[in-house]
Amino acid sequence: MEVELVRLSKVISRALRHRPEAIGITLDRNGWCDVHALIDALIKHGTPITREQLDVIVRGNDKARFALSEDGARIRAQQGHSVEVDLQLRPKIPPPVLYHGTVAEHLESIRKAGLLPMKRHHVHLSRDSKTAADVGARRGKPVILLVDAYRMHRDGHRFFLSGNGVWLVEKVPPQYLTS
Protein backbone atom coordinates (compact mmCIF):
# COMPACT_ATOMS: atom_id res chain seq x y z
CA MET A 1 0.00 0.00 0.00
CA GLU A 2 1.40 3.40 -0.90
CA VAL A 3 2.63 5.76 1.82
CA GLU A 4 -0.41 8.06 1.72
CA LEU A 5 -2.82 5.13 2.08
CA VAL A 6 -0.81 3.78 5.01
CA ARG A 7 -1.08 7.18 6.70
CA LEU A 8 -4.83 7.28 6.04
CA SER A 9 -5.18 3.73 7.38
CA LYS A 10 -3.54 4.76 10.65
CA VAL A 11 -5.84 7.78 11.00
CA ILE A 12 -8.89 5.60 10.35
CA SER A 13 -7.64 2.97 12.78
CA ARG A 14 -7.21 5.55 15.53
CA ALA A 15 -10.73 6.88 14.92
CA LEU A 16 -12.45 3.48 14.75
CA ARG A 17 -10.50 1.81 17.57
CA HIS A 18 -9.58 4.51 20.07
CA ARG A 19 -10.83 8.07 19.50
CA PRO A 20 -14.02 8.37 17.43
CA GLU A 21 -14.94 11.53 19.31
CA ALA A 22 -11.72 13.23 18.14
CA ILE A 23 -13.19 13.56 14.64
CA GLY A 24 -16.83 13.74 15.72
CA ILE A 25 -18.06 10.28 14.73
CA THR A 26 -20.13 7.86 16.75
CA LEU A 27 -19.72 4.11 16.79
CA ASP A 28 -22.73 1.94 17.44
CA ARG A 29 -22.56 -0.67 20.20
CA ASN A 30 -20.95 -3.14 17.78
CA GLY A 31 -18.27 -0.69 16.61
CA TRP A 32 -19.87 0.22 13.28
CA CYS A 33 -19.82 3.71 11.80
CA ASP A 34 -21.56 5.02 8.71
CA VAL A 35 -18.98 5.17 5.88
CA HIS A 36 -20.12 8.57 4.63
CA ALA A 37 -20.07 9.98 8.18
CA LEU A 38 -16.47 8.76 8.56
CA ILE A 39 -15.38 10.23 5.23
CA ASP A 40 -17.10 13.56 5.98
CA ALA A 41 -15.56 13.72 9.47
CA LEU A 42 -12.07 12.94 8.16
CA ILE A 43 -12.36 15.66 5.52
CA LYS A 44 -13.70 18.15 8.07
CA HIS A 45 -10.72 17.40 10.34
CA GLY A 46 -8.08 17.90 7.64
CA THR A 47 -7.69 14.37 6.30
CA PRO A 48 -9.13 14.35 2.80
CA ILE A 49 -10.17 10.89 1.62
CA THR A 50 -12.44 9.51 -1.07
CA ARG A 51 -14.70 6.47 -0.95
CA GLU A 52 -12.42 4.86 -3.52
CA GLN A 53 -9.37 5.36 -1.27
CA LEU A 54 -11.29 3.96 1.69
CA ASP A 55 -12.23 0.87 -0.31
CA VAL A 56 -8.58 0.36 -1.33
CA ILE A 57 -7.52 0.67 2.32
CA VAL A 58 -10.10 -1.88 3.47
CA ARG A 59 -9.29 -4.36 0.69
CA GLY A 60 -5.53 -3.76 0.65
CA ASN A 61 -4.70 -3.74 4.35
CA ASP A 62 -2.35 -6.66 4.95
CA LYS A 63 -3.80 -7.21 8.40
CA ALA A 64 -7.44 -6.81 7.33
CA ARG A 65 -7.90 -4.27 10.11
CA PHE A 66 -11.26 -3.09 8.84
CA ALA A 67 -14.53 -4.66 7.78
CA LEU A 68 -17.33 -3.24 5.68
CA SER A 69 -20.91 -4.29 6.31
CA GLU A 70 -22.47 -6.54 3.68
CA ASP A 71 -24.13 -3.55 2.02
CA GLY A 72 -20.92 -1.49 2.19
CA ALA A 73 -22.63 1.30 4.11
CA ARG A 74 -20.83 0.81 7.45
CA ILE A 75 -17.24 0.22 8.52
CA ARG A 76 -15.57 -0.95 11.71
CA ALA A 77 -12.22 -2.07 13.03
CA GLN A 78 -11.94 -5.86 13.38
CA GLN A 79 -10.27 -5.76 16.83
CA GLY A 80 -7.88 -3.76 19.00
CA HIS A 81 -10.40 -1.33 20.45
CA SER A 82 -9.76 0.67 23.57
CA VAL A 83 -13.31 2.10 23.39
CA GLU A 84 -16.15 -0.11 24.58
CA VAL A 85 -17.69 -2.08 21.71
CA ASP A 86 -19.24 -5.52 21.36
CA LEU A 87 -17.83 -7.19 18.27
CA GLN A 88 -20.25 -10.08 18.84
CA LEU A 89 -17.41 -12.60 18.90
CA ARG A 90 -18.26 -16.07 20.12
CA PRO A 91 -15.84 -18.30 22.06
CA LYS A 92 -13.81 -20.65 19.86
CA ILE A 93 -11.51 -23.57 20.54
CA PRO A 94 -7.99 -22.32 19.75
CA PRO A 95 -5.22 -24.29 18.09
CA PRO A 96 -2.92 -26.00 20.64
CA VAL A 97 -0.24 -23.30 20.41
CA LEU A 98 -0.55 -19.60 19.67
CA TYR A 99 2.17 -16.96 19.48
CA HIS A 100 2.79 -13.45 20.76
CA GLY A 101 5.44 -11.08 19.47
CA THR A 102 7.10 -8.64 21.86
CA VAL A 103 10.55 -7.18 22.55
CA ALA A 104 13.15 -8.13 25.18
CA GLU A 105 12.56 -5.06 27.35
CA HIS A 106 9.05 -6.35 28.21
CA LEU A 107 10.05 -9.92 29.09
CA GLU A 108 10.66 -9.39 32.81
CA SER A 109 7.22 -7.91 33.43
CA ILE A 110 5.60 -10.54 31.17
CA ARG A 111 7.28 -13.34 33.12
CA LYS A 112 5.86 -11.88 36.35
CA ALA A 113 2.36 -10.81 35.29
CA GLY A 114 1.79 -12.64 32.00
CA LEU A 115 0.35 -10.97 28.93
CA LEU A 116 -2.17 -8.28 29.80
CA PRO A 117 -4.42 -6.30 27.44
CA MET A 118 -3.05 -2.97 28.70
CA LYS A 119 -5.37 -0.29 27.21
CA ARG A 120 -7.19 -2.75 24.96
CA HIS A 121 -9.90 -5.26 25.80
CA HIS A 122 -7.95 -8.39 24.84
CA VAL A 123 -4.46 -9.76 24.39
CA HIS A 124 -3.78 -10.37 20.69
CA LEU A 125 -2.28 -13.71 19.67
CA SER A 126 -1.14 -15.03 16.30
CA ARG A 127 -1.64 -18.44 14.78
CA ASP A 128 1.93 -18.50 13.41
CA SER A 129 5.34 -17.35 14.59
CA LYS A 130 6.00 -15.23 11.48
CA THR A 131 3.01 -12.99 12.16
CA ALA A 132 4.03 -12.71 15.82
CA ALA A 133 7.56 -11.75 14.72
CA ASP A 134 6.15 -9.05 12.43
CA VAL A 135 4.12 -7.66 15.34
CA GLY A 136 7.10 -7.68 17.71
CA ALA A 137 9.35 -6.11 15.05
CA ARG A 138 7.26 -2.91 15.14
CA ARG A 139 8.99 -2.06 18.44
CA GLY A 140 12.47 -3.50 17.86
CA LYS A 141 14.09 -6.91 17.65
CA PRO A 142 11.22 -9.36 18.13
CA VAL A 143 10.99 -12.03 20.79
CA ILE A 144 8.40 -14.72 20.15
CA LEU A 145 6.45 -16.19 23.06
CA LEU A 146 4.60 -19.48 22.73
CA VAL A 147 1.21 -19.67 24.40
CA ASP A 148 -0.06 -23.06 25.56
CA ALA A 149 -3.55 -22.35 24.27
CA TYR A 150 -4.60 -25.98 24.65
CA ARG A 151 -3.93 -25.94 28.39
CA MET A 152 -5.42 -22.44 28.81
CA HIS A 153 -8.62 -23.50 27.08
CA ARG A 154 -8.76 -26.72 29.11
CA ASP A 155 -8.34 -24.60 32.27
CA GLY A 156 -11.34 -22.43 31.38
CA HIS A 157 -9.90 -19.42 29.53
CA ARG A 158 -12.13 -18.24 26.70
CA PHE A 159 -10.64 -17.51 23.28
CA PHE A 160 -12.19 -15.52 20.46
CA LEU A 161 -11.25 -15.29 16.80
CA SER A 162 -11.61 -11.86 15.21
CA GLY A 163 -12.79 -11.40 11.65
CA ASN A 164 -9.20 -10.95 10.47
CA GLY A 165 -7.79 -14.07 12.09
CA VAL A 166 -6.34 -12.58 15.28
CA TRP A 167 -6.91 -14.73 18.37
CA LEU A 168 -8.10 -12.77 21.40
CA VAL A 169 -8.06 -13.70 25.08
CA GLU A 170 -8.62 -11.65 28.24
CA LYS A 171 -5.08 -12.33 29.53
CA VAL A 172 -2.35 -14.95 29.40
CA PRO A 173 -1.06 -15.87 32.86
CA PRO A 174 2.71 -16.51 32.95
CA GLN A 175 2.42 -20.27 33.53
CA TYR A 176 1.10 -20.67 29.97
CA LEU A 177 4.07 -18.91 28.32
CA THR A 178 7.40 -20.14 27.01
CA SER A 179 9.95 -18.41 24.81
Shared fold status for 3-77 and 94-178: no
CA distances from 31 to 34, 46, 54 (A): 10, 23, 17
- Give the pairing of strands 123-125 and 91-92: unpaired
The domain spans of the chain are: 3-77, 94-178
pLDDT of 98 reads 98
| pTM given for the model | 0.76
Alpha helices in 45-172 (DSSP H): 51-60, 107-113, 129-137, 149-154
pLDDT of 6 reads 86
Mean pLDDT for the stretch of residues 141-150:
97
pLDDT of 33 reads 97
Amino acid at 149: A
Q: Does domain 3-77 have CATH number 1.10.3980.10?
A: no
Bridge partners of 172, per DSSP, are 115
At 119, the pLDDT band (50, 70, 90 cuts) reads confident
- Give the pairing of strands 167-169 and 159-161: antiparallel
Amino acid at 109: S
pLDDT of 1 reads 54
Mean pLDDT for the stretch of residues 11-25:
96
**Fold adopted by 94-178:** ADP-ribosylation fold (3.20.170)
Q: What is the 3-state secondary structure (H, E, C) of 15-49?
A: HHHCCHHHHCCCCCCCCCEEHHHHHHHHHHCCCCC
The string of pLDDT tens digits covering residues 28-56 is 999 999 999 999 999 999 999 999 999 99
Q: Mean pLDDT across the chain, nearest whole number?
A: 93
